[in-house]
Amino acid sequence: MTVRIGVIGVGMIGQDHIRRCTQVLNGCQIVAASDINVQSVQKVFDQYQITGKAYDNGHDVIASPEVDAILVTSSGPTHEEYVLAAIKAGKPVFCEKPLAVTAQGCERIVKAEMAAGKRLVQVGFMRSFDACYRKLKTTLSSGQLGEPLVVKCVHHNAEVGDSYTTDMGVTDSMVHEFDIIRWLLNDDYHSIQVVSPRRTKHAHHGVQDPQMVLLKTKKGVLITIDLFVNCQYGYDIRCDVVCEDGIAYMPSPLQVPVRTRGQLSEHVNADWRERFIVAYDIELQSFVDNAKQQRVEGPSAWDGFVASTTAAAGMVALTSGQITPVDIPDCPAFYRKA
């Protein structure tokens, strides 16, 4: 069976996912797509020689009887509406992060999915599909380094566009760390603080960049996130875990360090597309394979809710500069993993 996919939003990641569904993955076909700028849909269809229906409204994609499963890749504030509509239509939906831009929006999705009685939502947190994070988790789980004490994360983008705001540092970029560190440590957050250093001259007017976040987990692990979204030199994601009996450093994706002409150098990825290319392939192939079996796995609406709740506390902390509690309710049995 081929899973017939409808895509909502054909911006940067929407196009990249259309490329992978068309040229990389097995068992799926793009049959429809929408964007508020409908001409861009036809352009993407032409680029990948797709014969599909172009709509100017995401609800038409969801309602189409030709569409089995939905990819929501439009801008963050539009996600909630489309994910709720997909749940109502009973169609599996892969939604790029953030699941919704508010914790309340994520909670509405969680409630709608539980009322539907089965998982329909996978959130586009791709890092748990990345080989480097998986190796790090295997090392930590082996117990050879003792208990984790401190996690040092780096999240650097070369640059961001004009529409990027200070808040997005927390709600759009650091949500990846909020999700992956919970997954890595099997722990939940207790508090968050955001510290704002001197601003870079490269930030667009008014944007606080860099930002430094300190999170504490319920077990007392301290996490630092060094976010710098206009670092200029490339896309750099790092994660070092200081444990009782040693330190685990997340490896880099396969790179060959080179010594030549008096220099030692190593390629730095240009952007998230390059750094996580394989992880995106695996997460979407898994969505497609599961959709064939009428099921959904991977990062859940609950994971999306926890990340956005942590981001909401981060927003309070950003304004106050104070250590702010992160209040996450108990995970419902519906989402508890075996």
Is residue 234 within 8 A of residue 268, CB to CB? The reply is yes
Q: Which does 124 bind (CB under 5 to 8 A by kind): ligand NAD, ligand ISE, none?
A: ligand NAD
- C-beta of 64 vs 211, nearer to ligand ISE: 211
Q: Which does 34 bind (CB under 5 to 8 A by kind): ligand NAD, ligand ISE, none?
A: ligand NAD
- C-beta of 17 vs 216, nearer to ligand NAD: 17
Which member of 82, 94, 125, 272 binds ligand ISE (CB under 6 A)? 272
- C-beta of 44 vs 126, nearer to ligand ISE: 126
Q: Which residue is nearest to ligand NAD (CB)?
A: 11
- C-beta of 11 vs 234, nearer to ligand NAD: 11
- C-beta of 50 vs 203, nearer to ligand ISE: 203
Is residue 269 within 8 A of residue 276, CB to CB? The reply is no
Q: Which does 35 bind (CB under 5 to 8 A by kind): ligand NAD, ligand ISE, none?
A: ligand NAD
Closest approach, Cβ 315 to ligand NAD, in A, equals 16
Q: Which does 157 bind (CB under 5 to 8 A by kind): ligand ISE, ligand NAD, none?
A: ligand ISE
Closest approach, Cβ 157 to ligand ISE, in A, equals 5
Q: Which does 299 bind (CB under 5 to 8 A by kind): ligand ISE, ligand NAD, none?
A: none
Residues 139-178 within binding reach of ligand ISE (CB under 6 A): 157, 172-173, 176
- C-beta of 291 vs 311, nearer to ligand NAD: 311
Binding site for ligand ISE (CB under 6 A): 157, 172-173, 176, 229, 272
